[in-house]
Amino acid sequence: MPNYVRRYCDNLDEFKWHWFYYQMKEPMEFLADTEYLFYVLKWILKYDFDDLGYAVYFQTIMDPEMWSEPLIKDEWWTILDKRYQERFHNDISEMHHD
């Protein structure tokens, strides 16, 4: 585990640690490459976030050329699109209006 993740976890109380563990479970299932999860964590741990799965989905769509292989397993794309597509479009709209 990278040091920045260890440092982040060291500062969590028990409740927040359990929340973070729960946040990590699903992306570990839907990602084809766990190294990508640590890449996203490197950036997102600097901010407050409410859904790590969404952060991974968002980053994957926003920067698809960065990785040569598909990062999200095929069987998960439909599930994640249904769950996050509206939020993604709202976030993109807000970015263009700022």
**pLDDT tens digits for 30-89?**
999 888 889 889 888 988 889 999 999 998 888 877 676 778 999 999 999 999 999 999
**pLDDT > 80? residue 3:** yes
Output the CA–CA distances (angstroms, integers) from residue 42 to 1, 16, 28, 55, 78, in the order listed: 12, 18, 16, 12, 26
DSSP 3-state of 69: coil
pLDDT score for 22: 94
- The full set of domain ranges for the chain reads 3-97
pLDDT score for 67: 72
pLDDT band at 95 (very low <50, low <70, confident <90, very high): confident
Residue position matching structure tokens 């790590």? 52
What residues have CB less than 8 Å from 54, skipping those under 6 apart? 83, 84, 87, 88
pLDDT score for 94: 87
pLDDT average, residue stretch 11-34: 93
* Claim: this prediction has a pTM higher than 0.85: no
